[in-house]
Amino acid sequence: MIRAVAIFEIDRRVRAISTYVYFLLFAPLACLIMAATAGGIEGASVSFGGGGKVLANSPFTLANLTIGLSLFGLLVTAAVMGSAVYGDFECRIDPLIFTSRAGKTAYLAGRFLAASAVLILVFSGIGTGLWLGTLMPGLDHVRLGANHWTAYVAPYLSVVIPNVVILGALFFSVAVLSRRILPVYMISVLLLAAYLIAGTITHKIEHKFLAALVDPFGMTAFGYLTEYWTIVEKNTRVPGLEGFLLWNRLLWLALAGLLMGFTWWKFRMEHRAPAQQAARVDRSLLPRAATYPTWLHLTWMQFVETVKNIYFAVIVLAGAGFMVVSARTLGSIYGTPTYPVTYQVLELVGGTFALFILITITFYSGELVWRERDAGVNEIVDSMPLPGWSLWLSKLFALMLVQVLLECVLMVTGMAIQLAKGYSRLEPGLYLKDLFGLQLYDYWLVCALALAVHTLVNHKYLGHLVMVVYYLAYAFMDQFGFEHHLYNYSSHPDHDYSDMNGYGHFLGPVFWYYGYWSALAILLGLAVHLFWVRGLASGWRSRWSFARARFQAPQRKLAVAAGICFAAIGGFIFYNTNVLNPYRTRSQREKLQLRYEREYKAYEKSPGPMITTATLRVDLEPDQRRVRIHGHYDLANKFSEPISEVLLDLPQDWTIHTLRFSPEAHLERSDRALQTQTYRMAQPWPAGASGELEFDIEWQPHGFPNDTAPTDIVANGTFFNSGSLPQFGYDANGELSEDDTRRKYGLAPKPRAADIHDVAARRFTYISHDADWVQFEAVISTAPDQIAVAPGELVRDWSEGGRHLFQYRSRGKILNFFSVLSARYRVLRDRWNDVDLAIYYHPGHEYNLARMMKGVKASLDYCTRNFSPYQNKTVRIVEFPRYDQFAQSFPASIPYSESIGFIARVDPADEEDVDYPFYGTAHEVAHQWWAHQVIGGDVQGATVMSESLAQYTALMVMKQEYGPEHMKRFLKYEMDRYLGGRSSEKKQELPLIRCEGQSYIRYNKASVVFYALQDYVGEEAINRALRGYVQDVAFQEPPYTNALELEARLRAVMPAQYGYLIDDMFDAVTLYENRALSASWRTAANGKYEVKLKVAARKLKASEQGEEREVPLADWIDIGVFGDKEKLLYLQKHKIDRNEQEFTLLVDAIPVTAGIDPWNKLVDRSPDDNTIKVERQQ
């Protein structure tokens, strides 16, 4: 009987068009994405986990794509599973079926199986599409490997099919028990919320397992299963049902089974009279023209009806609930949250809650358009004496009112979150501006589109589908080379709010776009008016003739007016984005880079002038966002050959008023598109000769560009660096860098850095190729209420002609790397020995000044004590707007983003919080040594001497302040980031010493390595090595040092038995698989306890692509025993030279846990199995 039920149902579905629509939705999309990933689509740049050396059809990429796309199928699952039984109620055949002899077991099981089979068929479109994608012509075959069918099938077995069963059971049960379809769609919204909430659990690193379990889609678990996979693993290993994913699937399949059991138990094959719905609708339809206009009345009725029901409440509660949950982790860095400042709450709202709003718009636009027809009163309403426009316009207004209500909910929720977190600096004005001034309008534009789509498509579910396609196009269009906002409905350039600079200069262009899209929305409204279905004729022929009849003089006038506005504003925007500012698509930009490399590469090897002093006069007009720089460079020919030609790189979009060499040089070529100029010396500059460059350059905005407007020079919070000054010579960073892109243009892969042994490359620091050390001086004038900051010591601060002027001068020689900042700062001053300390901050951002100041002092103290004296007399921390999220150390001056420390909320009572304002400051101050005293040559591993050593210093400063216990947690994050980072490596992972600038190596791996190193040989020994190193290489002349020299210093202080550590940690990529196997204890003599511990250990070395081979063990590894509350009872390094080893240890208290490398000092992908509970021996 089950078979009979299932087969008929499958047959019915297979004959239904919707099944093919679903299939055809997936297959071409998957095919397109695969073709794009494999480089087959011009201008597209998508990777979806592939890219670089990870093949487009690698098992990992295939699984990622299949699972990701199947999540979009949530709505399809809801539709198919929901209607598996609901369909019978809907077309009222249930009495016939229920009085047959099918029985509920066969009925439910048959329908469920049939729907599952249909869904699997639909979802097989993804795999089919992906496979077809790999066969498309014009693909880049280096990005493709051989197709293995297992790689296509595996994600179905582990995720997609289980999801059909799990989610299917949920939708099926809800539809069966409620006998309605709406709750099914509501459940999908709730699932989405649950998924998103599961995603926020992981802001604390310990909760990965929980997060992996909670997500019903298995996506999070899949992410954790593969999070540390390397290139080789991604290309060869087929992700199966294992680890987190297996547990997740088992849990959810069990829950699904229980749910189906419950459904079977509750379900009765009985008839329920359908609820009478028509009456509810009727009330609103009778025009009450006497009191106020009918359309107003209709609007209000439809609005109330939309929001006064349980489904709307569910969506809103799900969204608000998600907001509240994710607010816990607001701005979290190292698991430590920030203060809930208003802009962050607003971003939360604009980001994730937006999803719920779009769902609301899509769903309710469909409901509103179909309202009368669904209730069966359309014939009554359509024949009423109402003007045609009032029927649809009232629906649009109702939908727009719903958005107003949602924004109110957001505002209240947002403020409630802030208050609940004890943050009372509410900014209602900012809420109003952002929610009602900006976001609301975005949504209103979508409302107009949704209503038009539903009207024109005239099929509810197809209409929803069209909207989903629009959302996807909106989000991903630019990745396929369609980057201009002008043809992406409702889009506009981004606007970033910053506490320092407010909305800055971002809103102007946004409002032009609002005008532009409003005109289009009016045209859409007109289309709705013309094609609105009134009456029973819904065929296209009759709708078309109705539309022609409705297109009368007023409509014509409106169409012409809106059309003219649309074209005029569009023209104005185009003038701004494409005429006043250069508009280039990704592929145009690539071609420009290509041309740069082809035409200018020759200059790379030819000698150029080197800057020896830089003197600047910078005039800032923050209000106008204008800056003019008069500069003077002293130049020298430091090479053995004469200089006869100079390539000059000029800042993009700046006006060059004058540019004059002396001795004289003639402009030979000016390349506008690339902003380069070539000069020929009147007389070649011989070796050792000197010269000068005078320049006068200016920048001011010209209209607005298509992308987000530049943020260098803003009303409050200007921050630009020496990149905005003329630079000499060929800049290899301007070349195309991705191997995939280079191959497309027939270029060989580009090494990320010169070989570590390359002495010629060490002629230059990795910071600049047109200077060694320079003298720097700048006079900066700015608005009278602003303070301007540049590197070096402040010489003079005065006012003149209504301007505020500052003179800065470097103390001694500095790197050719400077910055200019200007804002309305408040200043906190302090002193450390004879050094002036200051924090220039935005009033209101006082939260962490004390922590930062403490960090400055602790770092100064540590570095001067252990390395060398401080070369400057000042340390300044200078806040800049959050357009960028970093801090950067310049001589004596440290620009520091408002978003990464100023608003951190470190709870001193919470042991898990990391004081990153303190740590970050300590890191940046340490750069005054590691970069500004010791700077590496431009070869592999150069940043080890700057970033890694700054990281080491900050770790030691933090250890000193908070104790070694506190470091465990921080290092856990560093380990996780290292392992995760090497997993997203696209090219090659080299050992630390040859690091090519990858942040997961130079920061995260370096933290782990250096912390372990000082743990093995002692902090003092490491510092002794570093001290000697600084003495030798600080402020050195070329060739500059490399990481091999540093390594030699460290090696020299290693005791013989630990010599292998340098080989493993610096010269190789080494991983351990340490595991505690068993542990037991019994009481021994003298009140001691004897612990028997058995551990396993493996040591692996990974190749550049992540291929691993096991190497023999002869390593010293921590063996530890812990008592109650993790009290340390025993911790000693033991030599481990077998894969399994047993220890018998004596401790003073009852042991609770024990294990190998319990504090995770060594790189290990599963750190949690290192310790085990100690059982009492019987």
Partner 1 sequence: MELRIEGLSKTYSGGVRALRGVSLTIGAGIFGLLGPNGAGKSTLMRILATLQDADAGSAWLDDLDVLRDKDGVRRVLGYLPQEFGLYPKVTAAALLDHLARLKGISAGAERRALVEALLRQTNLWDARNQRLGAFSGGMKQRFGIAQALIGGPKLIIVDEPTAGLDPEERVRFHNLLGEIGEHVIVILSTHIVGDVSDLCRQMAVIHLGQVLTAGDPLQLAAELRGRIWQTSAERAKADEYRERLPVISARMNAGRRLVRVYAEESPGPEFQIIEPEVEDVYFSAVRRRS
Query: In this complex, which beta carbon is closest to partner 1, that of residue 104 or of residue 743?
Result: 104
Q: How far is the CB of 377 from partner 1 (least distance, A)?
A: 19
Q: Which residue has the tokens 């011989």?
A: 686
Query: In this complex, which beta carbon is closest to partner 1, that of residue 106 or of residue 1113?
Result: 106
The tokens describing 867, both together, are 């390395």
Q: How far is the CB of 2 from partner 1 (least distance, A)?
A: 11
Q: What residue type is 877 in one-letter code?
A: I
Which residue, among 873, 744, 861, 869, has the nearest Cα to 808 in the 3D structure? 873
Query: In this complex, which beta carbon is closest to partner 1, that of residue 10 or of residue 860?
Result: 10
The tokens describing 585, both together, are 């698509």
DSSP strand pairing (771-782 vs 690-699): unpaired
Q: How far is the CB of 905 from partner 1 (least distance, A)?
A: 53
The tokens describing 521, both together, are 């929305």
Q: How far is the CB of 121 from partner 1 (least distance, A)?
A: 18
Listing DSSP states for 356-375 in one string gives: HHHHHHHHHHHHHHHHHHHH
- Say how far apart CA 896 and CA 325 lie, in whole Å: 29
Omega of the bond leading into 1039 within 30 degrees of 0 (cis): yes
| Helix segments in 135-205, DSSP class H | 149-155, 161-178, 182-201
Report CA Rg, the chain.
34
Query: In this complex, which beta carbon is closest to partner 1, that of residue 16 or of residue 477?
Result: 16
Q: How far is the CB of 566 from partner 1 (least distance, A)?
A: 42
Q: How far is the CB of 7 from partner 1 (least distance, A)?
A: 9
Query: In this complex, which beta carbon is closest to partner 1, that of residue 7 or of residue 1150?
Result: 7
The alpha carbon torsion through 499, 808, 923, 933 (nearest 10 deg) reads 160
Which residue, among 64, 75, 53, 79, has the nearest Cα to 30 in the 3D structure? 64
C-beta atoms surrounding 1047 within 10 Å: 20
Query: In this complex, which beta carbon is closest to partner 1, that of residue 149 or of residue 265?
Result: 265
Query: In this complex, which beta carbon is closest to partner 1, that of residue 96 or of residue 146?
Result: 96
Q: How far is the CB of 739 from partner 1 (least distance, A)?
A: 53
Q: What residue type is 1135 in one-letter code?
A: K
Residue 855 · residue 887 · CB < 8 Å: no
Query: In this complex, which beta carbon is closest to partner 1, that of residue 17 or of residue 748?
Result: 17
Instruction: Report angle CA 613, 731, 50 to the nearest 5 degrees.
Output: 140
The tokens describing 116, both together, are 């599952």
Side-chain half-sphere exposure of 751, counting CA atoms within 13 A: 12
Residue 346 · residue 435 · CB < 8 Å: yes
Q: How far is the CB of 267 from partner 1 (least distance, A)?
A: 13
Query: In this complex, which beta carbon is closest to partner 1, that of residue 112 or of residue 1072?
Result: 112
DSSP strand pairing (1175-1176 vs 1075-1083): parallel
Residue 299 · residue 394 · CB < 8 Å: yes
Query: In this complex, which beta carbon is closest to partner 1, that of residue 103 or of residue 321?
Result: 103
Q: How far is the CB of 107 from partner 1 (least distance, A)?
A: 8
Long-range contacts: 805-808, Cβ < 8 Å, 24+? 805/779, 805/780, 805/781, 806/779, 806/780, 806/781, 806/782, 807/777, 807/778, 807/779, 807/780, 808/776, 808/777, 808/778, 808/780
Residue 764 · residue 1040 · CB < 8 Å: yes
Helix (H, G, I), strand (E, B) or coil at 501: coil
- CA–chain centroid gap for 391, Å, is 43
DSSP strand pairing (771-782 vs 610-621): parallel
Q: How far is the CB of 983 from partner 1 (least distance, A)?
A: 49
The tokens describing 914, both together, are 């990391």
Query: In this complex, which beta carbon is closest to partner 1, that of residue 271 or of residue 666?
Result: 271
Distances (CA, A) of 944 to 760, 887, 1071: 19, 18, 20
Query: In this complex, which beta carbon is closest to partner 1, that of residue 12 or of residue 280?
Result: 12
Query: In this complex, which beta carbon is closest to partner 1, that of residue 87 or of residue 331?
Result: 87
Query: In this complex, which beta carbon is closest to partner 1, that of residue 268 or of residue 605?
Result: 268
Q: How far is the CB of 17 from partner 1 (least distance, A)?
A: 9
Q: How far is the CB of 12 from partner 1 (least distance, A)?
A: 6
Beta bridge partners of 681: 665
Side-chain half-sphere exposure of 749, counting CA atoms within 13 A: 11
Residue 663 · residue 649 · CB < 8 Å: no
Query: In this complex, which beta carbon is closest to partner 1, that of residue 94 or of residue 1064?
Result: 94
Q: How far is the CB of 373 from partner 1 (least distance, A)?
A: 16
Residue 661 · residue 696 · CB < 8 Å: no
Beta bridge partners of 484: none
Helix (H, G, I), strand (E, B) or coil at 485: helix
Residues that bind partner 1 (CB under 8 A): 1, 4-5, 8, 11-12, 15-16, 87, 90-103, 269-271
Q: How far is the CB of 92 from partner 1 (least distance, A)?
A: 3
Q: How far is the CB of 563 from partner 1 (least distance, A)?
A: 42
Q: How far is the CB of 19 from partner 1 (least distance, A)?
A: 12
Residue 937 · residue 1036 · CB < 8 Å: no
Helix (H, G, I), strand (E, B) or coil at 527: helix
Q: How far is the CB of 4 from partner 1 (least distance, A)?
A: 4
- Say how far apart CA 65 and CA 71 lie, in whole Å: 10
Query: In this complex, which beta carbon is closest to partner 1, that of residue 7 or of residue 325?
Result: 7
Q: How far is the CB of 88 from partner 1 (least distance, A)?
A: 9
What's the residue count for the chain? 1178
Query: In this complex, which beta carbon is closest to partner 1, that of residue 95 or of residue 1055?
Result: 95
The tokens describing 782, both together, are 């700015």
- Say how far apart CA 1174 and CA 1151 lie, in whole Å: 6
Query: In this complex, which beta carbon is closest to partner 1, that of residue 276 or of residue 424?
Result: 276
